[in-house]
Amino acid sequence: MPHQLNQNQQYLILVAGVFFLVAYWIFGYDGITFSDDVSYLELGQRFWMGEEVLTDDHFTSRWGAYIFSGLITFLFGYNDHLASLSSLVYYLGAMLLIWKILPNPASKGFFVLFFVSNVYLLHFLTKIYPDAALVFWTALILFAAFYRQQKPLWSALLMSTAFFVGFCTKETIIFLAPLPLMLWWLDFRNKAQRLFYVYFFSSLVIIAIGYLTYFSLKFEDPLFRFKSIQDGHYISPYTYFDKDWKVMLQRISYSPVFTFVERAYWVWFILSVPGIFRAFKNKRDLSLIFALSTICLILGFWFMSTSFSYYNPIYLNPRHLIILLVPFSVNIALESKRWMDNFFWNRFCSLWIAFGGFIAFGALDWKLGTYYILFAGALLLGPKPIKTVSLVILLILPTFISVGYQKHLKNYPHLKEEFTKAMEKSDSSFPLVSHDFLVKSSKVITGNYNKVPQALTLDGFKEKVRLDQQPEEFQVFIYKYYKHAYPEEVNFVNDVNHITENNHYVPVDIFEDKWIKITHFKRVSPLSPFSNSEYAINIKPYSELFSWSSIATGQ
């Protein structure tokens, strides 16, 4: 992208960025993640239907994550893709806010390019997660910080509101809490106007009093919200306080570096470095705001505990990190001339990006390693006229590859169609048995919020067997995507084998393709020879039906 753009070109790039996000939202949808997004979809629907949603589950207090999406599904129908329109609005709002305060057409152009081209930001564009909403509230905090001298009252109200709603969306917004204090110290040293801080901290105190009073009146405990956060912690593979000290040491030392590399944030991280260093040298207010906010977020993600009772750093899920892309993209944009053309910074960034490639190679991720090497090579060695074009291609191309890969891997429309048909055939005497994550998501998948699903998890079916209430017939629905997202579900396959073998079930019908496998089982008399059973004609022995190899090969 040329460093000299005229006014018309900067608007064209903005329009292109908006169009790209809208098009990605329309055509890049690959389905739900069968996880927290299901909870937020259902909470939003329940809220607008007038049902009680606030409980001691800390998810229910994140109303900023589900009220907007819930309004969309309440007005236009219970649809998982349509609900994610809220995420598109949040992203567009964040991009427009930051674009407005950038100083020149070149920085606006580079900001749009880097903001819209991160594969994880785009992946969650079509999902209902609080992190997508937090992108907007992060941008609003930084937008308000920029206007703190010109419009102290309005910027203070905007920032305090953004912090409050951000906290009611997801608690990670507190990683930005040191920023106002840092800005106050800078303004104090520069003898700048400090009226903003009087308004800001006063409004925060008023909001905090109102917030605590609400919980005191509703739950008779002003600290109810914070206790629910604490009680929401549980031991999992993604907690650290319960692990060996070596695991904790890895987490707070080099593990985040590997996360940034493996999750494709490395380019943004490295290209931000010149902007952060230059901000403290030139001391321009806009540069300092985004440099300081980057430092706050990085330190928060790296070291801050998620618990009040014990030290437990946050698990660095790539979804959590998308709020970093707001300050990252601005740091990159403000100093694009440095990392593109400056002798030192160009080589610094190129070599460190290449270093990320060697880390990826060490992890045997040849595709990602090759990508980093290509990016570093284009940045360092690309002829000046085509360097920008090469980098644009390297940024945008992975977004298309990623969505194509995900859509093929999940084939969500096919899953919806077949799972919905299987649900329609199921009832109490002919239940559908499937993965926990599908049963939990059944209302969202079928698009029927009001129907009570006749689907059982494996534990639910085991309970029926234990009570000798097992049905004469049932269906088993296997979604082969579990091998990618829930590999531990291989036990589901083994347990189904065990139940059918010990309770005299035989398969009478099988439907299978590359993505799903549906088997209809029927109970037979234990006195009937299996080989002569009318139901076993042309059917594989049932001990083989759910073997790992048969699923892996699609046979």
With 90 as the cut, is the pLDDT of residue 241 above it? no
pLDDT, mean of residues 23-46: 95
Give the pLDDT of residue 555: 38
Section 306-335 average pLDDT: 94
**Bridge partners, 476 (sequence order):** 433, 519
pLDDT at 159 over 50: yes
The pLDDT, as a whole number, for residue 543 is 36
Query: Residue 60 to residues 12, 46, 214, 450, 457: CA-CA distances in angstroms?
Result: 41, 11, 15, 20, 24
Convert the pLDDT of each residue in 48-68 to its tens digit.
Answer: 999 999 988 888 999 999 999
Q: Identify the pLDDT of residue 486.
A: 87
Query: Quick one: 8 exposed, middle or buried, by C-beta within 10 A (0-12, 13-18, 19+)?
Result: exposed
Give the single-character DSSP code of 249: H
What does pLDDT average to over the chain?
90
- Of 140, 154, 153, 145, the closest CA to residue 187 belongs to 145
Q: Is the separation of the CB atoms in 394 and 401 below 8 Å?
A: no
Name the one residue in this structure whose structure tokens are 């049905």.
Answer: 471
Beta-strand relationship, 516-523 and 473-479: antiparallel
The 8-class DSSP code of residue 128 comes to -
CA-CA distance, 331 to 325, in Å (whole number)? 10
Helix/strand/coil for 340: helix
CA atoms lying within 13 Å on the CB side of residue 55: 9
Residue 514 has pLDDT above 50, yes or no: yes
Mean pLDDT over 464-483 rounds to 90
Decide: 134 and 181 in contact? Cβ < 8 Å. Answer: no
Extract long-range pairs of 346-355: CB within 8 Å, 24+ residues apart. 346/379, 346/380, 347/380, 348/273, 348/274, 349/270, 349/271, 349/273, 349/274, 349/379, 350/376, 350/377, 350/379, 350/380, 351/376, 351/380, 352/270, 352/273, 353/266, 353/267, 353/270, 353/271, 353/379
The conformation of residue 275, written as its DSSP 8-state character, comes to H
pLDDT of residue 545: 39
Vertex 25: Cα angle to 24 and 29 (nearest 5) = 95
Pick 538 or 45 by higher pLDDT: 45
User: What is the model's pLDDT at position 544?
Assistant: 39
Task: Indicate the pLDDT class of residue 528, thresholds 50, 70 and 90.
Answer: low
This prediction has a pTM of 0.92
Tens digits of residue pLDDT in 99-131: 999 999 999 999 999 999 999 999 999 999 999
> CB burial class (10 A; 0-12, 13-18, 19+) of residue 511?
middle
Q: How far apart are CA 168 and CA 326, in angstroms?
A: 20
Cα separations (Å) of 154 from 200, 203, 209? 9, 11, 20
**Sheet of strand 516-523: strand arrangement:** 455-456, 432-434, 473-479, 516-523, 505-512
| pLDDT tens per residue across span 541-551 | 333 333 333 33
- Whether pLDDT at 1 is above 70: no
Q: How much is the pLDDT for 101?
A: 96
Strand duo 473-479 + 455-456: pairing:
unpaired
Residue of higher predicted confidence among 333 and 3 = 333
Task: Assess contact for 325 and 268: CB atoms under 8 A.
Answer: yes
Which tens digits make up the pLDDT trace of 399-432? Answer: 999 999 999 999 999 999 999 999 988 888 889 9
* H/E run at residue 368: helix 366-381
pLDDT at 376: 97
**For range 369-387, the mean pLDDT:** 92
* pLDDT bracket for residue 537 (50, 70, 90): very low
The size of the chain, in residues, is 555
Res. 552 pLDDT band, cuts 50 70 90: very low
Calculate mean pLDDT across residues 522-527: 78
For residue 297, what are its two tokens? 């977020």
Q: Say what percent of the chain tops pLDDT 70.
A: 93
Report residue 121 as tokens: 């930001």
**Mean pLDDT computed over 78-90:** 96
Residue with tokens 């004609």: 537
Other beta carbons within 10 angstroms of residue 7's beta carbon come to 8
Torsion of CA 361, 348, 107, 88, to 10 degrees: 20
Count the neighbouring beta carbons within 10 Å of the beta carbon of residue 104: 13
**d(C-alpha 396, C-alpha 425), whole Å:** 44
